[in-house]
Amino acid sequence: MTDNPLLDAIDALTKPDTLLRHRGTEHEHFWAELVRNTTPDERAAAKAAKRKLPRTVGTGEWWCMFCDETRDEKPDENEAPRTIDRQDDPPLLVQLEARIRSTLSDGGAPGKPGSSMLVDQAAFDLASRIRNRLTGWAEDVRVSAERTVPLGALLRRWYAAYAASDHPVGDDDRRARVVAGWVTEIRDLLDPPDQIPYRGQPCPLCGETRAIRDLDGEVTDTVALWAVLRPDYRPEGSYGMCRACGEVIARSADPMQLRARMNGAIAPATRLTATVAESAEIV
């Protein structure tokens, strides 16, 4: 890491991606036995037999409130210990281009005409968006941006010219946020975070339990509150948000702490100022 956020973000995209990944259990489970209410028939039968029947009985299932996992029998308390392994991957932009078939090859060159191979649409859209932005930036500093140039090489070529040019105060910070957003988007594409809905739980800010959206005439109706959980080796951290009002409710570097906050521990005073549009570059 340097004292230059823009250069740090560029390095994150163009240098080998090294993360310390945790193996084994990611947290200490807290197992709670799931119960259900007894039925009127069960209570009537117990009364006829003159025996006591509790209001609730176990379902035979066990649930961890932190990771939302359910098991059919009580888990072993002595689970495998947690270990940390180092994993070195190719640069993120190389990994992104490697996901694209038919249109881009691993090195970013045009694919063969008439190819019937499937395209990873999400990867293709993200790479296209990054290339279009970089092309505009390159033109600003009079750098050629041929489509045959891999994204990583284009980004480095642009930065060399940009760093040697005059630019407005604050421009570095603005571009650093954009580039850091690409880092997060690529990592989310390669290592998708878990998304856990909170059905029936109202947003502490807007009070909605459902989020209804109209996208190009297609109406979607989904749960309002969601926890987006990234592994704790991911530097971006996890967050909870409401898809109805677009507010980020809570953030935490530890996904289990985020879950604990989202499990009924959210107060209206925890509102953050970032909206979905604002957090697109920083979440």
For residue 151, what pLDDT band results from cuts at 50, 70 and 90?
very high
Question: Distance between CA 186 and CA 127 in Å, rounded?
Answer: 9
Give the pLDDT confidence score for residue 217 in this predicted structure.
64
Mean pLDDT value across residues 110-127: 68
Report the chain's C-alpha Rg in angstroms.
25
CA distances for 38 relative to 35, 41, 145, 269, angstroms? 9, 8, 69, 38
For residue 13, what pLDDT band results from cuts at 50, 70 and 90?
very high
**Of 47-56, 149-158, 237-246, 263-272, which has the strongest mean pLDDT?**
149-158
For residue 28, what pLDDT band results from cuts at 50, 70 and 90?
low
| Structure-model confidence comparison of residues 278 and 158, the more confident one | 158
Question: Distance between CA 188 and CA 185 in Å, rounded?
Answer: 5
Give the pLDDT confidence score for residue 39 in this predicted structure.
87
Give the pLDDT confidence score for residue 213 in this predicted structure.
76
Mean pLDDT value across residues 147-165: 94
Give the pLDDT confidence score for residue 117 in this predicted structure.
47
Question: Distance between CA 218 and CA 227 in Å, rounded?
Answer: 24
pTM of the model: 0.65
Mean pLDDT value across residues 185-213: 88
Mean of the per-residue pLDDT values of the chain = 79
Asked if residues 155 and 93 have their Cβ atoms less than 8 Å apart, the reply is yes
